[in-house]
Structures are given as C-alpha cells and as structure tokens.
Amino acid sequence: MATDGDDEACGFASATVREGLWFLAMLFVRPGTQAAGVGQALMDRAQAGRDVDPGGPAVPGPDQPFDTGIHTWGMCTDAAQPISNGLYARRGMVPRIPVWRLVGEVRRWSAVPPLPASLEAVPFERIEAEGPDGGRRLADLLDGLDRELIGSAHPAEHAYLRREGRSGFIVRERGEAGAPGSRVHGYVYGSGGGRLGPMVALDPSLHAGLIGVAVRETPMLGAVAMWVPGTADRAMRALLDAGLRMEGFPGLICWSRADHPFEQYVPISLALV
C-alpha cells in the first residue's frame, strides 16, 4: 500500500504467487493521486514482493523475474482502461484475450448436453469419501489438472470456492464401480447463486458438457453467469446457444507468455485465475 504525506492511503495492490504464477488480483489508485507515480510504485512493490527502489525494471518478464522461479506474470483488466493497460503491458503483462461475462437463463438444454457415456461427473464430496485418503486424492487431482494447464497448483483458491459454498465436480472415465484410478478429464464448479466456474477441460470439446454438469447438478435460482475467454470458443458458443447473452464490455486477459491455457481453462472472474 502506498501512502501520501498525511499517511492517507493513496492506493493498494493485491497479488498472489502460486508455484511460479504471479497474478495481480486488483490495483486501485485514488483519483486525486493518479498520474503521480503511485501505480508504478505499487506495481514495483507487488511484483518484487518487498520494498524496492522507485522505478524498477520496466518489463519484468519471465526471463528476468524479480523473484527467481516465477514463470508467468498475469492479470485480467478492464478493456476500457488504456492507460492502466499500458502500465501492465510495459511490465510484461500484454493484453492478449478478451474475456466476456455471459448472463441469462438456460432455455435450450440441448446446447449443454450430458457428458459422453464413457465419462462421469463426480462431486468432490464423493471422491473425499472414497477411502481414508480421499481428501488427499481430490487435492492431487485438482493440483495435477491445474499444473498441467496453467503451470501452477492453486489449492488456496479451491479452498476459498468451497468455503463460499460452490459445488465442484471432477469429470473422469467410468471404471469398475467408478475406480479411484480412473483417468480425469477436467473439473467444473457451480453455485446456488448461478455463478459458474472455474472450469477445466483437457479437451475443450467437453466444455459444453461440463457446463451442463454444473447447471444440472447444482440447485440454482434464476439466471446463471460465467466469465468466458474468447479463445474458449466451444464454451462461449454453448452458452450463447443455450440462451445467455454477453453483458457489458469485455475484460482483457493480460499474460506474459504467448502460450496460454485459456482454450481449456475458464477462470472464475477477473480477479481470480
């Protein structure tokens, strides 16, 4: 947090580091102190993880990280903030992908069909009940999928989603009596308030079926909503075909690497990857 001479907060930034993925959740600067270097100072502090001299490296990319071990700098931002987006891009987080908020009621259920017969959607709680090590196995499954796609596990975010009351489902191949060793293909979250995500599918063609799992298996009231990257075209088409609409202007996914996971990975929001 940066302060002015009267120790009144001028702004704040919040970022998380998960096994080499650095993600900026939010950055705010008071209107009266904008264009005075506060945002630069906050970014210096947030990216370094410690106090640093003002005006740090202009582009701290994965090849020259502040903190060895960081392989990706990322964030989501408002598309209508060109000055702020320039700040992030100079520091390696280049705007790459629009992310749209889709909202509405599912009216055409065939657009979000059941999963293929060879797959099953298993509630997290059922996996936890599959023997004394069920909780550890669930964590390993989620961490493995996240590491494969985004390069980092983020168990703290999964714990937060479950505390918030979201229902999670692992999608795996059907085995004998749902054998715990069955190969997993993805996961999805739903909530009673209608918020969907995050969602992961090793094969993006499963996104429509995963959305179907979330809306059918989670008791919901009224409309549903989901943030969808433009590269997750199967998920977007399925939701639009189902009856949802794009709401407002898009956000932007800013990523330091040209390769990214957002054909397969649909984040929960602009502030939490």
Q: Which amino acid, residue 60?
A: P
Q: Are residues 202 and 89 in the same domain?
A: no
Does residue 220 fall inside a structural domain?
yes
Does residue 8 fall inside a structural domain?
yes
Q: Which residues of 71-84 are buried (b: 16+ CB within 10 A; e: fewer)?
A: ebbbbbbeeeeeee
* Residue 169 vs residues 10, 67, 147: alpha-carbon distances, Å: 42, 35, 18
Q: Which residues have C-beta within 8 Å of that of residue 166, sequence separation ≥ 6?
A: 189, 190, 191, 195
Does residue 269 fall inside a structural domain?
no
Q: Are residues 238 and 128 in the same domain?
A: yes
| Least confident window among 26-40, 68-82, 88-102 | 26-40
Q: Which domain holds residue 188?
A: 101-248
pLDDT tens digits for range 15-37: 888 998 989 988 777 776 776 67
Does residue 265 fall inside a structural domain?
no
- Residue 44's H or E segment, with its range, is helix 38-48
Q: Are residues 189 and 67 in the same domain?
A: no
* Phi/psi of residue 110, nearest 5 degrees: -65, -15
Q: Which residue has the higher pLDDT, 112 or 175?
A: 112
Compute the distance between CA of residue 263 and CA of residue 261 in angstroms, rounded to an integer.
6
As for how many domains the chain has, the answer is 2
Q: How confident is the model at residue 8 (pLDDT cuts 50, 70, 90)?
A: low
Q: Are residues 72 and 115 in the same domain?
A: no
pLDDT tens digits for range 201-260: 999 999 999 999 999 999 887 899 999 999 999 999 999 999 999 999 999 999 999 999
pLDDT at residue 158 tops 90? yes
